[in-house]
Amino acid sequence: MIISRPARLQEIETIRSLERASAQRFVGLMDALAADESSPAAVLTARIADGGVIVAVEDGTVAGFVMFRPVEARAYVEQLDVLPAFAGRRIGAALLDAVAARAREAGLVGLSLSTFREIPWNAPYYRRLGFVEVDALTPGMAAIRAEHLARGLDEAARVFMVRGL
């Protein structure tokens, strides 16, 4: 049985390893992304301290995680990863629902994220979960896009999406 709960500081390296394992799905599609460094430990430490990382655990194994933060009136999903061995079990959807519950408690209006437009487990997946593409970027989204460009991400291949609560 999968249980979602706030991440713990002692799980930072586990989360970073999970992120690297999940990125291997991009091998052959986006090799630079597959080889990219996982989230810095300092960022994870800050997000965990703010309650912005939730893990999904089964039998003691961290099977997935979601990292998020408030941006404007929404919870911005920075990262969502599930171990390949646990794929197809709706863990990602359950983690997004957990973020939505946190967003509701915080008085936010929904979720937002930025993802690759054509990768099947990116935008098409999020569409199935009720996310829609935005036509115009908010100032917060524009700032995130600038962060992505600074990291070398191909923003022409990406789209921002939102979902209400």
Rg (CA), the chain: 15
pLDDT tens sequence for the chain (165 residues): 788 999 999 999 999 999 888 876 754 555 455 446 778 899 999 999 999 999 999 989 999 999 999 999 999 999 999 998 998 899 999 999 999 999 999 999 999 999 888 777 788 899 999 999 998 999 999 999 998 888 777 788 889 999 999
Q: Are 68 and 76 in contact (CB under 8 A)?
A: yes
Indicate the domain borders of the chain. 2-164
Structure confidence at residue 16 (pLDDT): 93
Quick one: 2-164 is in which CATH superfamily?
Answer: Gcn5-related N-acetyltransferase (GNAT) (3.40.630.30)
